[in-house]
Amino acid sequence: MHYNAAEDLRAAIAAWHAWLADEKRVSAHTSSNYGRDLGFFLAFIGEYREVVPDMALLDKLEPMDFRAWLSRRMGDGLSKSSTARALSALRSFFRFLERRGWIGSSAVHALRTPKLPHSVPKPLAPNDAIEMVEAIGDLALNEWEGKRDVAVLTLLYGCGLRISEALTLNRNQIPKGEVLRVTGKGNKQRLVPLLPVVVEAVRDYVDACPHHLEPDGPLFVGARGKRLRAEIIQKQVRGTRILLGLPDTATPHALRHSFATHLLAGGGDLRTIQELLGHASLSTTQRYTEVDREQLIRVYEDAHPRAR
């Protein structure tokens, strides 16, 4: 995002990004999004106040300045979830400046976070999840890429990995034995049990892969031998769900939701599922109890004679 800012402000932004990476250990993706959100705000405030933003200006911003920014976002049709993330980025930046004594208490803290609609994860039915994992290989241009795509989806559904977690695995982290060490958000590590089907799927891909996989290089690679991009898997999943007649909610991340929901339905407890998914808060994991309850109600309404 291009915007004008005084030299002292640009130095503060660079220090903030360094703090996000070194102290908070946020992902490069999150840091980039935060930087983009802050950039849009500074571009707006520079236009709104008709000045080049500097630290002195930030120290003098009032609630009306931030409300004007929120109003602009609403006028531009930006979603509440997008605005909530942008507001989180601004709070992080201004709190960082306050803690270092570079500005006083900011008016940004007076703003309320937009109330987001309550969302419930949309998992696939067990048969649909298994069919998607097995069928994605049929859409590949060649056999080794098909085995690769099956292996990636097997990790998502069999271990509950995020797609980013699967694609950042290196060759020396190949799933083997009984557990897999996964590095998730905030560089936090967790151990997840390995099903034999997961180990077998990844081994089939590695044996078929025509590229030399360096030990400290990527495990999953694209056609040119570079680390596989998430967009490739997402594209293949779109084709697979069309082929199988599945809804648009059948995404790679839906397989992670399916992993958690099917474990819960099979008797898994929330604390264990929280550990397996790498959720920092149990409240995030508790969303899956709502999915399970909804499924229970549907089964009851379909099966109970007095429900008709």
Q: What is the CATH number of the domain that holds 169?
A: 1.10.443.10
153 and 238 part of one domain: yes
Same domain for 94 and 159 = no
pLDDT of residue 172: 92
Who's near 182: CB < 8 A, 6+ residues apart?
159, 161, 165, 189, 190, 191, 192, 278
Q: What is the pLDDT of residues 29-60, one digit of tens each?
A: 788 889 999 999 999 999 999 999 999 999 99
**Domain annotation covers residue 173:** yes
Q: Which is the catalytic residue, given 10, 36, 211, 253?
A: 253
pLDDT bracket for residue 241 (50, 70, 90): very high
pLDDT at 116: 55
Q: Domain count of the chain?
A: 2
pLDDT of residue 248: 87
Residues 293 and 193 in one domain: yes
- List the CATH number of the domain containing 82: 1.10.150.130
Of 267, 241, 243, 244, the closest CA to residue 254 belongs to: 241
Domain boundary among 78, 110, 142: 110
Q: Which of 49, 85, 91, 185 is catalytic?
A: 185
Is the residue at 34 inside a domain? yes
- Contacts made by residues 127-132, CB under 8 angstroms, sequence distance 24+: 128/244, 128/246, 128/250, 129/157, 129/255, 129/258, 129/262, 130/157, 131/244, 132/237, 132/240, 132/241, 132/244, 132/246, 132/250, 132/255
Crossing angle (nearest 10°) for helices 7-22 and 80-99:
100
Q: Is 191 found in the same domain as 67?
A: no
- At 1-16, the pLDDT tens digits run 567 889 999 999 999 9
Residue 162 reports pLDDT greater than 80 = yes
End-of-domain residue from the set 110, 144, 161: 110
Q: Are residues 135 and 31 in the same domain?
A: no
Is 226 in a helix, a strand, or coil? Answer: coil
Could you say which of 3, 157, 205, 288 is catalytic?
A: 288
Whether 288 sits among the annotated catalytic residues: the reply is yes
Q: Which helix (H) or strand (E) holds 11?
A: helix 7-22
Does residue 285 lie in a domain region? yes
162 is catalytic: yes
Same domain as 297, residue 177 = yes
Does some domain include residue 248? yes
What is the per-residue pLDDT for 201? 95
- CB neighbours (10 Å) of residue 266? 8
Look over the chain and give the mean of its residue pLDDT values, rounded to a whole number: 84
Residues 103 and 174 occupy one common structural domain: no
Would you say the C-alpha torsion 42, 45, 50, 52 has a positive or negative sign?
Answer: negative
pTM recorded for the entire structure: 0.59
- The answer to whether residue 185 is catalytic is yes
The CB-side HSE value for 267 (13 A sphere, CA atoms) comes to 0
Q: State whether 93 and 143 are in the same domain.
A: no
Closest-CA residue to 63 (of 94, 17, 31, 98) = 94
Write down which residue in 61, 83, 110 finishes a domain. Answer: 110
In this structure, is residue 22 part of a structural domain?
Answer: yes
My answer on whether 139 and 255 are in the same domain is yes
Inside any domain, residue 213: yes
User: Residues 100, 154: one domain?
Assistant: no
Q: What's the mean pLDDT in 155-170? A: 89
Identify the active-site residue in 162, 190, 241, 262. Answer: 162
Domain extent for 12: 7-110
Dihedrals phi, psi of 101, to nearest 5 degrees: 75, 20
Residue 233 is assigned to a structural domain of this protein: yes
Please give the structure tokens belonging to residue 48.
């709104």
Residue 83 and residue 219 share a domain: no
190 noted as active-site residue: no
Integer Cα distance of 71 and 33 in angstroms: 20
Q: What is residue 105's predicted lDDT score, i.e. its pLDDT?
A: 83
Q: Could you read off the pLDDT of 177-216 as tens digits, one per residue? A: 888 888 877 777 888 888 899 999 999 999 999 999 999 9
| Any domain includes 77 | yes
Query: For residues 166 and 230, what is the distance between their CA atoms, to the nearest angstrom?
Result: 10
User: Is 276 in the same domain as 134?
Assistant: yes
Cα–Cα nearest to 129, from 270, 222, 292, 260:
260
Residue 233: per-residue pLDDT? 94
